[in-house]
Structure 1
Amino acid sequence: MTFIPTAEKLMPELTPREEIALLARALWRQGYNDHLAGHITALQPDGTLLCNPWLVRWDELRPEQVIRIDLAGRVVEGDWPVPLGIPLHLALHSARTDVTWAVHNHPLYGTVWADLGEIPPIYDQSSALGGGGDLVLVNEYQGPVNDPTTARGAIDAMHGGDLALLAGHGVFVLGGSARAIFQRAVALEQRCQRAWHIRAAGGSPAPVLPAGFLNHLKNSDGDGFVGFWESAVRAELRSDPSLLP
């Protein structure tokens, strides 16, 4: 009998709040761990956003702490404050109806390349697994994105990209599901890490991956690699079984 992997067989069914809490914890382990920084949003059918709150680190976030906000940034459900930089997500979701999930944080290697004002090459297949459009560079730092005007400027400068390096700031990863976001975010930081190590080792070899392979992954929506996100969910639930009722 052939085993067909599906998300339902590989992990429990999750609510959107549970997905946000598990995504935050899983990404913290992958280097998205700049203290209290970072925002995760998930667009809901009624036009509101589920969001991690301010004052709670990603590695301690629980589903019941996830707040719901409107596109003006007002809390409509929950008893925690809104993250300071949420105007970046408000500008995104107001401008782009194609995006339902978004993650912003300051992982080490992604932020280094953003600070350099460079897009790192893709040197290996694992670094290419982000899928879904181009990685773009927003190479002007106009101020923190808690300012709505600055936030709108950053979104406009992405020109529809699905992943961005924000100069002097960090990274921004967009997608259609928690699975897509997790895979893209992990692959982005791995791409940045490998490229940095290659440069630090004194070499800058031309990437050897064939263009056809890269174009195939580039056309992906980031949601097709079943098992990657699910294994991360299982790891988090083993670490803290109390996350789910």
Structure 2
Amino acid sequence: MPLDSPSSAAFTATPEQLLPDLDPRLELTLLARTLWHEGYNDHLAGHITYRLDDDTYLCNPWYLLWDEFTPDDVIRIDADGKVLDGRWPAPLGIPLHLELHRARDDVRVAMHNHPRWGTVWADAGRIPPLLDQSSALGGGRLVFVDEYAGPVDQAENARAAVDAMGDADIALLAGHGVFVTGNGIRAVHQRAVALEQRCRNAWHAEVLGKPVELPEQVRARFAASKGDGFRGFWEAMARRELRRDPALARWLRTA
């Protein structure tokens, strides 16, 4: 299906028909670019890891913004952070991801950044209330990690943060930012978008006064989601990025 001309068949289309098959490097690039437009845009900050079947990891490169790097710039690293493929170094904070992947076999994709609203709540040391369904769509368990002994480019600090996170899916990191994990690109995208919306809406609602949280049973039902059930959302945002930069089309597996 052409990227710029959705058809009526899209109403019954499978996710594979909604988005061409993507090379993993393109998937990671599109995740970074879509999240940049959602507020994950703190200059050079932030890193994404995508665990491959051989237990190496694709990663965004250091020195390039999330809205400018391409699949050609994506690097591949080993479990110790050594660059195996690529022309760029790994981001400075990559020890946070490596420690997480060592501890969590269930995590395929992990993303860290300093979005405005998520970082505000992390700075305040509070978990924002869950007020609306769009803010809940990512599912998973959100925790506040009340430890900041220094930057996570040091393995000891990274390990302490991962230990404090436990088996949670999403974390607000005191004095730092946010950490979002999932079983794939779609889950991390949905969770990251929902988290920033949750943090933003909760802040505005508190300014108005007396925010009303979703009922407990509703919150529990949303929390049980693995984050990958909202079929079509990731595909739509990825298509938008492909339209923004048509040069990326050469990385489509069906191209």
CA apart distance, 1:2: 10
What is the alpha-carbon distance in structure 2 between the residues aligned to residue 198 and residue 31 of structure 1? 19
CA apart distance, 1:85: 0.3
Give, as a single letter, the amino acid of the residue that structure 2 aligns with 1:70: D
- Does residue 37 (structure 1) correspond to residue 45 (structure 2)? The answer is yes
**2:63 alignment partner, SS class:** coil
**1:54 alignment partner, SS class:** coil
What is the alpha-carbon distance in structure 1 between the residues aligned to residue 88 and residue 207 of structure 2? 42
Give the gaps of 5 or more residues in structure 2. 1-8, 251-255
Residue by residue over 1:172-221, the C-alpha shift from the partner in whole angstroms, topping out at 9 and shown as x without a partner, is 000011111100000000000001111223x03331x2322221211111
Q: How high is the TM-score relative to the length of structure 2?
A: 0.92
What is the alpha-carbon distance in structure 2 between the residues aligned to residue 67 and residue 159 of structure 1? 28
Look up the match of 1:228.
233
Look up the match of 2:131.
123
Give the gaps of 5 or more residues in structure 1. none
Structure 1 runs of 4+ aligned residues shifted over 3 Å read: 1-5
CA apart distance, 1:230: 0.3
Give, as a single letter, the amino acid of the residue that structure 2 aligns with 1:69: I
- What does residue range 12-31 of structure 1 map to in structure 2 within 5 Å? 12-31=20-39
Residue correspondences, number: 242
Look up the match of 2:150.
143
- Does residue 94 (structure 1) correspond to residue 102 (structure 2)? The answer is yes
**1:18 alignment partner, SS class:** helix
Please, what is the CA RMSD of the aligned residues? 1.3
Q: What percent of counterpart residues are identical?
A: 60
What is the alpha-carbon distance in structure 2 between the residues aligned to residue 3 and residue 59 of structure 1? 30
Contact 1:42-1:49 at 8 Å conserved across structures: yes
- Does residue 177 (structure 1) correspond to residue 184 (structure 2)? The answer is yes
Look up the match of 1:73.
81
What is the alpha-carbon distance in structure 1 between the residues aligned to residue 40 and residue 184 of structure 2? 18
CA apart distance, 1:244: 2.3
